[in-house]
Structure 1
Amino acid sequence: MKKLFAVILTALLCMVTAQAAFAQDEKVVNVYNWSEYTPQHLLTQFTEETGINVNYTTYESNEAMFAKLKLLDGKGYDVVVPSTYFVTLMREQGLLAKIDRSKLSNFDQLDPFVLNQPFDPQNDYSIPYMWGSTSILVNTDRVDPASITSWHDLLRPEFKGKVILSDDMRDTMGMALLATGHSVNTRDEAEIKDAYEFLKKLYPSVRVFDVTATKQAFASEEVVIGMSWNGDATVLTQEMPNLQYIYPKEGAPLWLDSLCIPKNAENKDNAHAFINFLLRPEIAKQIVEEYLYSTPNKGAWHLLPEGLKNSRAVSPSEKDMSESEFCDAVGPALQIYERYWQMLKTQS
């Protein structure tokens, strides 16, 4: 009887061990990303090349992604794509695994311009995916683009009621900080108040706070000038050639979305394989052509058609970027930003 029990126990242990090994070896990568941010045909290509199936789920905000990862303690997903200062938050709260650079043969394709940013100084926890700016879009049928050189031009009386601003607090507060000569990442309340006072003056000119409504607002000519993400601006200028994207002399707030691996990801090797696939120049090129944001990939940029290489929205010059700045976390000062933001948005 004891011998039979031992045989049964051994068989059960073998089954459990085999199931665990199968779970570890399962060919899957669970990707949690922004919607419409990785073309489906590339996900299919990755699976065909590697045999690794991609479970792709989406979120609509960094806040939603961050809250879910925090709730799950960094489990459930193998690749996530936070923006700039959310990398800082996730890194500081221990939600991210360290990247194994030896598994990324295409890392050297990345432009030094986007590397070693304050939110991840050595890129130990994040790999740049796409980046861009939030700058000025104008209707050249109604506005002489040569006359627009500064964020202060939004205050001109002829634009009253015709300005669109982003409803993203850090974008719009960052714009106002640059306009008043400060860093987009300041923690100084006096400087944040300066930005608020600038926006308070601008408030009567604002038709809408809604960066997702840019197309409708410009097409209907409800607005003639305002803030836009560079990718949206590129799409719009293809449809409406009378629009032009302009970098002001004070610089523009910059954003960078990065590929990260949660600390308790169950398929870290597959995650590295997926990230390395996205870093291949011919793959990164197709992502730019699909979504029209700026690429951090030097090899991909050289493969782009001339129209995108010559687009200042997609391919800004060094001069365009000279005063621009990536957003980073601002620690406890975030509460100061939020207070002034609410004061602005609740004006009668």
Structure 2
Amino acid sequence: MSTITGRGLNRRSLLAATGAAAIGMTFTACGEKPKAAGAGGEEPKLNFYNWDTYIGETTLADFKKATGVDVNMSLFATNDELFAKLKAGNPGFDVIVPSNEFVTRMTQADMLTPLDHAKIPNIKNIDPTFLNPDYDPGRKFSMPYTWLLLGIGYRKSKVQGVPDSWKWLFDSDKYKGRIALLSESADLVRLSAKYLGHSLNNIPADMIPQIEKMLIKQKPFVKAFHDDNGQDMLLAGDVDLVLEYNGDIAQVMREDPDLDFVVPKEGSLINSDSLCIPKGAPRPNNAHAFINYLLDAQAGAAITKKILYPTPNAAAKALMPDSYKKNPVIFPPPEVMAKCEYGAFEGAEKASLYEEVITRVRAA
């Protein structure tokens, strides 16, 4: 039996009614005959380090049924936690799910194993626009799992019009005491820079004090800095405006028609979560087989129905209903996406600087 250990809710956590049950599937759908358990001298086991509730309801059990490989999934809550867990050496994980800039950071730190694309034929299912990202050119170390976009979740009956600017979160007392901000330091600094008219990357040094001053001024009007559970605060009525990911707000919009999501007119931050094999993985053959399985069309559709995040898997997306494919919250229109950017890893020193800024903001 696959086991799950870990923490509570985070940005990928789901409420009860998130959709249909996962589709049953077989490993032969991946285009190759399943190998016997323990092929290549590996034991029929795999350790998967993932975000909470970020998998299909039956995905792990179906993979075991088809291959004999038992998947043990343990959970992490932040990329920082993932990085710290593996920095001192891999404790036994075979597949991990870092976000885009951490793929770069872990590659630079020699913490990832190069992927053998010949063992991942389901790469053919990936939308070509996701095959050569700046954070991992040529997909040497990662395969795309999902992508995510930050914006403002809001309660329509409590907000005047559409809150289509970061101003309402970062630079206004209009909704004082009814705002929750994501606690991720880099995201807050970057989106503040976006509001002030700059790219969210390569923020000039003289803009950082301006951002800090603006957020300290705003802090008395902010009810909470949430740990990626802003959708729950919004649904419960604790706040009326929240900085949160599109998939999370799409989930609670099913629960409450008074909720909505907007990407501010200044643009926003895109993240992408990736499947990687950490250096020192004890079962690399099983790891490649599992990644290939997750990129299968039916397997990918089952995962997507459960988690409701935008999928880079074109074959899986094709199996999804129009209520998903044509949902502008999950897939914002091209003119909105044109103003959005991926955050780049710009070194540990800058990451520490952003953490220090937000620590001072929260202490103010």
Q: Do both proteins adopt the same fold according to a TM-score greater than 0.5, normalized to the shorter chain?
A: yes
Cα pair 1:245 1:312 within 8 Å, conserved: no
1:79 matched residue in structure 2: 95
Alignment-mate amino acid for residue 212 of structure 2: Y
2-side partners of 1:276 and 1:216: how far apart? 33
2-side partners of 1:189 and 1:289: how far apart? 43
Deviations 1:270-317 (A, max 9, x none): 111100110011111111110111111111112111111122222222
1:170-319 correspondence runs (5 A): 170-186=186-202, 188-319=204-335
1:55 matched residue in structure 2: 72
Deviations 1:191-242 (A, max 9, x none): 3333323323432321111043424432443321121111210111111111
Cα pair 2:173 2:218 within 8 Å, conserved: no
Q: Please tell me whether residue 330 in structure 1 is matched to residue 346 in structure 2.
A: yes
Q: Please tell me whether residue 102 in structure 1 is matched to residue 131 in structure 2.
A: no
Q: Which of residues 42, 55, 60 is equivalent to 1:43?
A: 60
SS at the partner of 1:295? coil
Farther-moved stretch of structure 1 (21-30 vs 152-161): 21-30
Alignment-mate amino acid for residue 354 of structure 2: Y
1:120-139 correspondence runs (5 A): 120-139=136-155
2:178 matched residue in structure 1: 162
Cα pair 2:297 2:316 within 8 Å, conserved: yes
Alignment-mate amino acid for residue 33 of structure 1: N
Task: Structure 1: give runs of 5+ residues left out of the alignment.
Answer: 1-20
1:151 matched residue in structure 2: 166
2-side partners of 1:162 and 1:104: how far apart? 47
2-side partners of 1:298 and 1:109: how far apart? 6
Alignment-mate amino acid for residue 116 of structure 1: N
The number of equivalent residue pairs is 325
2-side partners of 1:109 and 1:339: how far apart? 41
Aligned CA distance change for structure 1 residues 84 and 177 (closer, same or farther; 3 Å): same
1:1-12 correspondence runs (5 A): none
Alignment-mate amino acid for residue 182 of structure 1: H
Q: Using the TM superposition, give the Cα deviation of residue 23 of structure 1 relative to its aligned residue in structure 2, in angstroms.
A: 9.1
Aligned-residue CA RMSD (Å): 2.0
Structure having the higher helix fraction is 1
SS at the partner of 1:158? coil
Aligned CA distance change for structure 1 residues 87 and 38 (closer, same or farther; 3 Å): same
Cα pair 2:193 2:203 within 8 Å, conserved: no
SS at the partner of 2:139? coil
Alignment-mate amino acid for residue 151 of structure 1: W
Q: Using the TM superposition, give the Cα deviation of residue 40 of structure 1 relative to its aligned residue in structure 2, in angstroms.
A: 4.5
1-side partners of 2:276 and 2:147: how far apart? 15
SS at the partner of 2:254? helix
SS at the partner of 1:316? coil
Q: Using the TM superposition, give the Cα deviation of residue 153 of structure 1 relative to its aligned residue in structure 2, in angstroms.
A: 3.4
SS at the partner of 1:122? helix
SS at the partner of 2:216? helix
Query: TM-score, with normalisation over the residues of structure 1?
Result: 0.87
Alignment-mate amino acid for residue 330 of structure 1: E
1-side partners of 2:216 and 2:85: how far apart? 35
Cα pair 1:189 1:336 within 8 Å, conserved: no
Q: Which runs of 4+ in 1 moved over 4 A?
A: none
Cα pair 2:146 2:309 within 8 Å, conserved: yes
2-side partners of 1:102 and 1:320: how far apart? 36
Query: TM-score, with normalisation over the residues of structure 2?
Result: 0.83
Cα pair 1:24 1:266 within 8 Å, conserved: no
2-side partners of 1:220 and 1:270: how far apart? 42
SS at the partner of 1:137? strand
Alignment-mate amino acid for residue 217 of structure 1: M
2-side partners of 1:168 and 1:93: how far apart? 22
Work out which of the two has the higher radius of gyration on C-alpha atoms and give 1 or 2. 1
2-side partners of 1:113 and 1:145: how far apart? 34
SS at the partner of 2:264? coil
2:28 matched residue in structure 1: none
Cα pair 2:57 2:303 within 8 Å, conserved: no
Deviations 1:22-44 (A, max 9, x none): 99332222211122112341111
Farther-moved stretch of structure 1 (247-256 vs 32-41): 32-41
2:359 matched residue in structure 1: 342
